[in-house]
Amino acid sequence: MSLELRFDERGLIPAIIQDALTGRVLMLGWMNAEALRLTQSSGEVWFWSRSRNALWHKGETSGNVLEVREIRADCDADCLLVRADPAGPTCHTGRESCFWQDLQGGALPPPAATFLDTLEAVIALRKAAALPDESYTARLINAGLLRVAQKVGEEGVEVALAGAAQDAERLLDESADLVYHLLVLLSVRGLSLRDVLARLAQRHQR
């Protein structure tokens, strides 16, 4: 038996689009029954454009389609969560997410799905600032790639030692240090947490 969705008086239901890999919220759109049917049958997200009063295949002109991984309904069956893989920026402004501004219209970084996203954004800001005395992160980055890589190695050894012979609190502290230094190394090499998640997902599919 299929779930009976609750479309509003216009025959529409809101659909929140979430990056299936990172968990970031990308956009909010509206679907009617036909847009939902096309989304399910094509494997790519379709909406109903309220401004154009027409069906809208997301990414049809830009190529930035949204490949559907999963569609969920909320507890009241009046809102959808679509987990998807974006082929490029989701927002028409070229940004990763449509939710990029504060209530004064100021630009913000992509919304964080986890604290790791926040930490990665902070590291990116420190890297861009290039001020040796601003913070530990800036000093570490300015020390060069080899020093950053060395720190990852040192922290890895400390995690192994804590895991083998020390208490849980020490293991948590050392693990946090390792993750932080790994994010710095990825940033210095021009890589990101998303790249790591994509590689893990790729391996999982084998």
Q: What is the CATH number of the domain that holds 79?
A: 3.10.20.810
Per-residue pLDDT tens over the stretch 160-205: 999 999 999 999 999 999 999 999 999 999 999 999 999 998 898 7
Give residue 147's pLDDT: 97
Report yes or no on 103 lying in a domain. no
Report yes or no on 163 lying in a domain. yes
The answer, as to whether pTM is greater than 0.85, is: no
> Is residue 63 located within the same domain as residue 119?
no
Per-residue pLDDT tens over the stretch 64-102: 999 999 999 999 999 999 999 999 999 999 999 999 999
Q: Say if residue 130's pLDDT is above 70.
A: no
CA distance 96 to 185: 23
Owner of token pair 């799905």: 113
Domain that holds residue 133: 115-204
Report yes or no on 171 lying in a domain. yes
Q: Say if residue 109's pLDDT is above 90.
A: no
> Is residue 60 located within the same domain as residue 134?
no
> Is residue 133 located within the same domain as residue 65?
no
Report yes or no on 95 lying in a domain. no
Report yes or no on 41 lying in a domain. yes
Domain count along the chain: 2
What string of DSSP letters covers 118-175? HHHHHHHHHHHH--TTT-HHHHHHHT-HHHHHHHHHHHHHHHHHHHHHS-HHHHHHHH
Please state the rounded mean pLDDT for residues 125-153.
Answer: 89
The residue out of 68, 86, 104 marking a domain boundary is: 86
Element (H, E) at 29: strand 25-31
> Is residue 127 located within the same domain as residue 47?
no
> Is residue 133 located within the same domain as residue 60?
no
> Is residue 137 located within the same domain as residue 82?
no
> Is residue 58 located within the same domain as residue 128?
no
Report yes or no on 17 lying in a domain. yes
Please state the rounded mean pLDDT for residues 20-29.
Answer: 95
Please state the rounded mean pLDDT for residues 94-115.
Answer: 91
Please state the rounded mean pLDDT for residues 111-117.
Answer: 89
Buried b (16+ CB within 10 A) or exposed e, 10-45: eebbebbbbbbbbebbbbebbbbeebbebbeeeebb
Looking at every residue in the chain, the average pLDDT score rounds to 94
